[in-house]
Amino acid sequence: MVMSSAVQCRAVLLAAVASGQGKTTVTAALARKLARSGRRVRVFKCGPDFIDPMMLERASGAPVESLDLWMVGAERCAQLLADAAREADAILIEGVMGLYDGNPSAADLSRHFGVPVLAVIDAGAMAQTAGALVHGLRDYGPVDMAGVIANRVGSAGHANMVASALRGIPLLATLPKQKRALPERHLGLVLPDEVAGIDELLDELAEQLSFDDAAWQSLQPAAFTAPQPPALAAPLLAGRTIAVARDAAFMFLYPANLHVLESLGATLRYFSPLADEALPQDADAVFLPGGYPELHGARLAATPNWQSSIRAAHARGVPIYAECGGMMALAERLTSKDGTTWPMAGLLPGHVAMQERLAGLGPQAMPTPQGELRGHTFHYSKLESGLEPVAHTIKPSTGAQGEAVYRAGSLQASYFHAYFPSNPAAAAALFLPEAA
């Protein structure tokens, strides 16, 4: 593999001992702090995620991509990091779950690209024990530890106790206990546009972040080397128009997926089912991404234009690809956790019900005639359907059966979220007539 020359940029991977330590809040605060100081900041999210990147994009003012050694692949990760390093003064990568959780983990990503870890610790109920925690995080892998950000610090004295316990690892920043926090719901954070005064809140977090700029400047820049750009994708979707649902109910969408469709030659046309917009009349295919249809059941049930247009497209044999929330909106009925049931578009036989327990989580791969299409699943609902699946995804860690893949006429639907750059040819096939 031919590699291009290396480019350097100061970079850190913000990671913690577990979820719930405040990684996204701290990453957003640091991104906004650096951006407000005039630095060009690029932020990435480790692992599959839709919501955190939206918040981090709002905080940094730049698009946020996913990095994952399995789903995204090492070569594409290298390309994304090198591209960011050419235009940025700082690269922040938010980890996923705990530093060593998953295979590959955030620690694996750190070591693969030589990006040091910036440990985020919830110091709200500890003091000197912070030192033991951080040294354990560093030495278990081991990983290169750039420093620590202590979250939920009670006072300057508390911060000093934490700093003295770190034994040579710098305390780069502290964030006090928050009166206002980034709100959450069952799939993660609330979407940025739903938070009143979100920019003021991000500015407030940045101002409250006590940041050692000299320690930041002393960090050794990381060097990123990108492979030569891959060959241009064949224009498998040239001349085709794909209608993409995009509104508050259908927001879980990798930007890279849209770029792949455009690179394959497709023209993308966006529409809003929530606004009762009919499909664009010139649509040759339809993409219904995931999202929160369960939060908008009443509105989706009262959308005659949208529902009649998707049914008409289905009757004409227009290829329709629906992921997770998109699939839920095409079932016959959708029931919320409080028992309210709404009629949906009815293209897919079955009933979707929300539940308290997580029903699916983790990386998965969908077998296709074009090869493996990688992605993930994350949902709190279950579909009860008499329709037999045409395939199942595969869990890469065990080889076990994953999510069901359904086909009803020209509709293909699953809880599986695909990452199109992992196999552009397989992605293109989702939007072509089956005989093509």
CB 306 within 8 A of CB 361: no
- φ, ψ (nearest 5 deg) of residue 238: -60, 135
**Catalytic residue selected from 9, 46, 77, 324:** 324
Question: Is 324 in the active site?
Answer: yes
Q: What is the per-residue burial (b if ≥16 Cβ within 10 Å, else e) of 45-67?
A: bbbbbbbbbbbbbbbbebebbbb
Cis previous bond, 104, omega within 30: yes
- Token digits for 117? 């870890």
C-alpha 368 chain-centroid distance: 23
DSSP H stretches of helix in 225-361: 255-263, 297-301, 304-315, 325-328
Alpha-carbon gap, residue 56 to 38, rounded angstroms: 17
Q: Is the Cβ–Cβ distance between 420 and 266 less than 8 Å?
A: no
Cα separation, 335 vs 244, in Å, equals: 24
Cα 36 to Cα 60: distance, rounded to the nearest angstrom:
9
> Which DSSP string corresponds to 354-403?
E-SS--EEEEEEE--TT--EEEEEEESEEEE-SSPPSEEEE-TTT--EEE
Q: What is d(CA 83, CA 20) in angstroms, rounded to the nearest whole number?
A: 31
Find out whether 271 and 245 touch, Cβ atoms under 8 Å: yes
**Which residue carries 């700029």 as its tokens?**
213
> Rounded to whole angstroms, how far apart are CA atoms 380 and 187?
8
CB–CB of 368/426 below 8 Å? Answer: yes
Provide φ and ψ at 374, rounded to 5°: -90, 160
Q: How far apart are CA 66 and CA 55, in angstroms?
A: 13
The catalytic residue positions are 324
